[in-house]
């Protein structure tokens, strides 16, 4: 039997009992290239990305590669999903509290 745990609060998620949210995050470094220089901007970005990843491959540390491209998947319980949904970028709350306090 497969067991899942929430990646945020580490609570155990029981299949068929607890709702489980799967959050997939893809982070890419984007290199802005002048559009008149490139025919297909999206393709060019991907090619550049691949070249950089290949170049980084052997002699550079993994940490630099993660600055360029990351794909993560998280399992969240319903409570943590609601928190994540409210604040997916992990922003500080102080600013919005300041506004609502008025």
What residues line the site for Zn ion (CB under 5 A)?
6, 8-9, 77, 80
The C-alpha torsion from 58 through 59 and 61 to 62, rounded to 10°, is -10
CB of 67 to Zn ion, least distance (A): 28
CB of 32 to Zn ion, least distance (A): 37
CB of 11 to Zn ion, least distance (A): 5
Residue with Cβ nearer Zn ion (9 or 53): 9
- Per DSSP, the three-state class of 5 is strand
Residue with Cβ nearer Zn ion (8 or 45): 8
69-77 and 20-28: which strand pairing?
A: antiparallel
CB of 79 to Zn ion, least distance (A): 6
How far is 56 from 49, CA to CA, in rounded Å? 10
Residue with Cβ nearer Zn ion (9 or 30): 9
Residue with Cβ nearer Zn ion (7 or 48): 7
For residue 26, what are the contacts with CB-CB under 8 A and spacing of at least 6? 70, 71
């Amino acid at each position: 039997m497969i067991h899942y745990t929430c990646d945020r609060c580490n609570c155990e998620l029981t299949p068929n009992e607890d709702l489980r949210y799967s959050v997939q995050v893809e982070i890419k470094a984007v290199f802005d290239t002048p559009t008149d220089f490139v025919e297909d901007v999206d393709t060019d970005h991907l090619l550049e990305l691949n070249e950089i990843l290949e170049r980084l491959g052997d002699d550079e540390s993994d940490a630099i590669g993660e600055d360029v491209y990351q794909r993560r998947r998280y399992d969240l319980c319903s409570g943590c999903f609601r928190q994540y949904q409210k604040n997916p970028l992990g922003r500080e709350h102080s600013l919005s509290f300041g506004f609502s306090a008025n």
